[in-house]
Amino acid sequence: QGLKPIVPTESPALISGTTTKLASDLPATDSFLGKNKVPDLQKLFQKADGLPVHLKRGVPDKLLYRTTMALTIGGTIYCLVALYMASQPRNQ
């Protein structure tokens, strides 16, 4: 008798009638149809203008940075107030 294999030796039947294509089956020209933006972004981020990397793209980066800092400070204050209120005894 012995042990029976847990994994079936036959491949399971296809659920849908379509077959899938592997990435290696696709032609190289069909894989990406957009413009490569990496060289432009490399020029932008490597420019020696004294700004930190997280602020190099202008107003949107400043807005995200300031929003993140405001939420962080607000959350810290909220946690401290909640801890203070939890440490006080309740009045009966």
Tokens coding 3: 């042990």
Question: What's the rounded mean pLDDT across residues 59-71?
Answer: 95
Q: What is residue 8's predicted lDDT score, i.e. its pLDDT?
A: 59
Whether 79 has a pLDDT exceeding 70, the answer reads yes
Question: What's the rounded mean pLDDT across residues 61-75?
Answer: 96
CB-CB neighbours of 62 under 10 Å: 12
DSSP per residue, 21-37? PPGGGS-GGGS--S---
**Alpha-carbon gap, residue 50 to 60, rounded angstroms:** 18
Q: What is residue 53's predicted lDDT score, i.e. its pLDDT?
A: 87
The residue among 54, 53, 49 whose CA lies nearest residue 68 is 54
Question: What's the rounded mean pLDDT across residues 72-85?
Answer: 97
Q: What is residue 69's predicted lDDT score, i.e. its pLDDT?
A: 97
Q: What is residue 91's predicted lDDT score, i.e. its pLDDT?
A: 82
Q: What domains can be seen in the chain, in order of their start residue?
A: 50-91 (4.10.91.10)
Give the tens place of pLDDT for each residue, 9-54. 676 666 666 666 666 665 555 566 788 899 998 999 998 988 888 8
Cβ-in-10-Å burial (0-12, 13-18, 19+) of 47 comes to: exposed
Whether 64 has a pLDDT exceeding 90, the answer reads yes
